[in-house]
Amino acid sequence: MDYFLMFISAIFVNNILLAQYLGNCPYLGCSKEKGVSIGMGFAVVFVAVMATAFTFIIQKYILVPYDLGYLQTIVFILVIAGLVQFVEMFLKRMVPPLYKSLGIFLPLITTNCAVLGIAILVQRKEYDFATAVFYSFAAGMGFMLALVLMAGIRERLAIARVPKAFEGTAIGLVMAGLMSLAFFAFKGMIA
Amino acid sequence: MAGIVKEFTKGLWAEIPPFRLVLGLCPTLAVTKTASDGFGMGMAVIFVLALSNLIISAVRKIIPKKVRIACFITIAASLVVTVEMLMQAFTYPLYQSLGIFVPLIVVNCVILGRAEAFAAKNPVHLAVADGLGMGVGFTMSLTFLGAVREIFGAGSLFGHHVMWAGFEPFQFMVEAPGAFVCLGVILGAMNFLTAWQNRRKKAAGQNACLACAACALAPAAEEQQS
């Protein structure tokens, strides 16, 4: 039951994108088409779960015992960069169809702050391993939901008449604000 | 010397990072609840950006092309760790209120973007000027956005009360939705202003006004952008 609550909370109440402001660059950059946004969303879920698992183990068995906590940032980002590279090579060789659909998004994920953000967040919240991995999955799903919804809205927005100055990113941000407001309504759901 | 001034000033208006280049949006949205948070974040970014541009530009000929991104990230990450420790030592309240966004400076697209687009191709003095300019521009944007949100959301500025006595704080502005809408409206206003400036410049050009300094600078800025 706790896991279920956490899942709902990470997707709707504390959405990683709309309530915690992580991963805005792909949110505005990769949300022009629905297909692209789904690909990006899956890539983020996949890498976020892997990265959280790996960084959790490194933090627990290497950084903490040897008192190297201050190296957290540099180690985490290198692990994520390495992991992304590895996943890319693995998929290319073993699962070509998946590589074809995710391939172009993988390099972008290294600098997606959602992935590093989730890895650091679970450390700060002091979750145990299973909870941390589950949280990363739920947060990734929340990211995907926001991204796909936004892509749907932007497809309609492309044919709408928008004031000249607001075309492109500006109206995208205002839209994001309205979506964030809608998600804000879930705040009361979990006390 | 003229080159240094040009690289520095382009970050202040023509290519001001969050508004023009639309880079580094996460901290722009997240840490601008108050003007002082935005200012503090900007300061940290100036430090990292100027030094990372300096180092990357200094070693740009040694770094192999294929692993350059990894090198840039490592350099930026070491600087971010330095900033993190300095902030813990000297400005602990600020460190706490910025929270997770201090380590996340590593993945701020402004840093990697400038490294890739500028520092890896230009000599050290220009790269530092570019880093400082971009950093100052980033700080200005964050402080401005933070000031707007703080004035309407809490009725204060840098912690001092500025609104009249009966002012009801506008809660929307300090919450997440307000951040998005506020940034969107500012972007729209900047676009509008640029369009208006261009129109006026065109009109001025027809009157053969070549004395205005903006006209002389504009082609150079456009060239940079393309």
Restricting to A residues 76-95, those with a Cβ less than 8 Å away from any Cβ of B are: 76-78, 81
What residues of chain B lie within 8 A of the CB of A69, using their CB?
none
Structure confidence at residue B129 as a pLDDT band (50, 70, 90):
very high
Provide the shortest C-alpha distance from residue B75 to chain A (in Å): 9
Q: Does A21 touch chain B (CB under 8 A)?
A: yes
Least confident segment among A129-143, B31-45, B115-129, B164-178: B164-178
Q: Can you name the residues that pair with B161 across neighbouring β-strands?
A: B156
CA dist A97 and B205 (Å) reads 56
Query: What pLDDT is attached to residue A103?
Result: 64
Query: What pLDDT is attached to residue B215?
Result: 45
Q: For B131-199, give the DSSP string.
A: HHHHHHHHHHHHHHHHHHHHHHHHSEETTEE-S-TTPPP-HHHHSHHHHHHHHHHHHHHHHHHHHHHHH
Q: Which phi and psi (to 5°) does residue A150 adopt?
A: -60, -40
CA dist B207 and A107 (Å) reads 50
Q: Are B108 and B29 in contact (CB under 8 A)?
A: no
pLDDT above 90: percentage of residues in chain B:
27
Mean pLDDT of B19-48: 86
Task: Give the sign of the dihedral formed by CA A170, CA A104, CA B112, CA A136.
Answer: positive
Say yes or no to pLDDT of B134 above 80: yes
Give the residue among B25, B73, B62 at the shortest CA–CA distance from B176. B25
Say yes or no to pLDDT of B218 above 50: no
Domain boundaries, chain A: 28-147, 161-191
| Contact between chains at A21 and B179 (C-beta distance less than 8 A) | yes
Nearest by CB to residue A170, choosing from B70, B112, B191, is B191
| Contact between chains at A72 and B103 (C-beta distance less than 8 A) | yes
Helix (H/G/I), strand (E/B), else coil: B14:
coil
Query: What pLDDT is attached to residue A64?
Result: 87
Query: What pLDDT is attached to residue A157?
Result: 84
Nearest by CB to residue A24, choosing from B29, B81, B182, is B29
Query: What pLDDT is attached to residue B201?
Result: 83
Structure confidence at residue B172 as a pLDDT band (50, 70, 90):
confident
Find the residue in A nearest to B27 (Cα): A21
CA dist B86 and B97 (Å) reads 15
Query: What pLDDT is attached to residue A83?
Result: 86
Instruction: Give CA separation, B187 vs A168, A169, B18, B46, B178, in Å.
Output: 10, 8, 9, 22, 14
Q: Does B78 touch chain A (CB under 8 A)?
A: yes
Tens digits of residue pLDDT in B10-22: 878 778 887 777 7
Q: Can you name the residues that pair with B160 across neighbouring β-strands?
A: B157
Question: Between A and B, how many CB-CB pairs are < 8 A?
Answer: 128
Least confident segment among A39-53, A162-176, B169-183, B212-226: B212-226
One pLDDT digit (tens) per residue for chain A, 191 residues? 588 888 888 888 888 888 888 888 777 777 777 877 888 888 889 889 999 999 999 998 988 888 888 888 889 988 888 888 888 888 888 888 878 776 667 777 877 888 899 999 898 888 889 999 999 999 999 999 998 988 888 888 888 888 888 887 888 888 888 988 888 888 877 65
Structure confidence at residue B207 as a pLDDT band (50, 70, 90):
low
Q: What is the ipTM of this complex?
A: 0.84
Query: What pLDDT is attached to residue A1?
Result: 55
Query: What pLDDT is attached to residue B8?
Result: 86
CA dist B105 and B99 (Å) reads 11
Q: Are B52 and B76 in contact (CB under 8 A)?
A: yes
Most confident of A29-38, B58-67, B211-220: B58-67
Domain boundaries, chain B: 2-160+168-191
Query: What pLDDT is attached to residue A187?
Result: 80
